[in-house]
């Protein structure tokens, strides 16, 4: 079974809802989640937070975090996930922030650097990836990896 169907099944079984906050994927994860009929049962909604303004005003990411760590950072990914969960009143939230390229890379944060966070009531887990490929490939891998992280989180909370 593809991962997105497994995520859908796990959310349904557990009666949990999901929110999304997407920067570099720009809505593609929401697009994948809502590709499945009946997704409105567990999909609370999403925010495409491309600008810092949206991250601050909608997701309540503290401006100090953005200034100190940059938008593509572990603390901002975490704050985006927690902010989306609050804003959309969901049980879980997935957030991604990254540099899809071709511009915006640096030696410390090369193009392909992506942070993915999953928040639920027990806390928030963030992972850092450096994907290779062009803009489309980086975005695609981010979508896939985000869905894998959701699946893992849902499986872990099922066991506990």
Residues 6+ apart with CB under 8 A from 38: 8
50 in contact with a second copy (CB under 8 A)? yes
CA dist 139 and 18 (Å) reads 20
CA dist 22 and 49 (Å) reads 6
- Coil, strand or helix: which one is 11? helix
Select from 67, 103, 107, 123 the one that contacts a second copy (CB under 8 A): 103
Q: Toward a second copy, which CB reaches closer, 10 or 88?
A: 88
In this structure, are residues 63 and 57 in contact, taking their beta carbons and an 8 Å threshold? no
Select from 12, 13, 51, 132 the one that contacts a second copy (CB under 8 A): 51
44 in contact with a second copy (CB under 8 A)? yes
Instruction: Classify residue 104 as exposed, middle or buried by CB count within 10 Å of its CB (0-12, 13-18, 19+).
Output: middle
132 in contact with a second copy (CB under 8 A)? no
Tally of CB atoms within 10 A around 55: 26
Q: Toward a second copy, which CB reaches closer, 117 or 158?
A: 117
63 in contact with a second copy (CB under 8 A)? no
Q: Considering only residues 9-28, where is the footprint of a second copy by CB under 8 A?
A: 20, 22, 24-28
Please count the residues of this chain forming the interface with a second copy, following the rule CB under 8 A.
39
Positions that interact with a second copy (CB under 8 A): 20, 22, 24-31, 33-35, 37-40, 43-51, 53-54, 58, 87-89, 100-103, 135-136, 139
């Amino acid at each position: 079974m593809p991962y997105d169907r497994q995520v859908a099944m796990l959310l349904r079984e557990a009666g949990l809802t999901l929110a999304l906050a997407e920067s570099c994927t720009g809505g593609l994860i929401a697009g994948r989640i809502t590709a499945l009929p009946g997704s409105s049962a567990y999909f609370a909604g999403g925010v495409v937070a491309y600008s810092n303004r949206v991250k601050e005003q909608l997701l309540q990411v503290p401006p100090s975090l953005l200034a100190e760590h940059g938008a593509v950072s572990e603390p901002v990914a975490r704050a985006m996930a927690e902010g989306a969960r609050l804003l959309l009143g969901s049980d879980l939230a997935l957030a991604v922030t990254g540099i899809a390229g071709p511009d915006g890379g640096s030696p410390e944060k090369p193009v392909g650097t992506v942070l993915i966070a999953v928040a639920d009531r027990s806390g928030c887990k963030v992972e850092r990836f450096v994907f290779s490929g062009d803009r489309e490939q980086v975005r695609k891998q981010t979508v896939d990896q985000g869905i894998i992280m959701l699946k893992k989180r849902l499986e872990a909370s099922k066991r506990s």
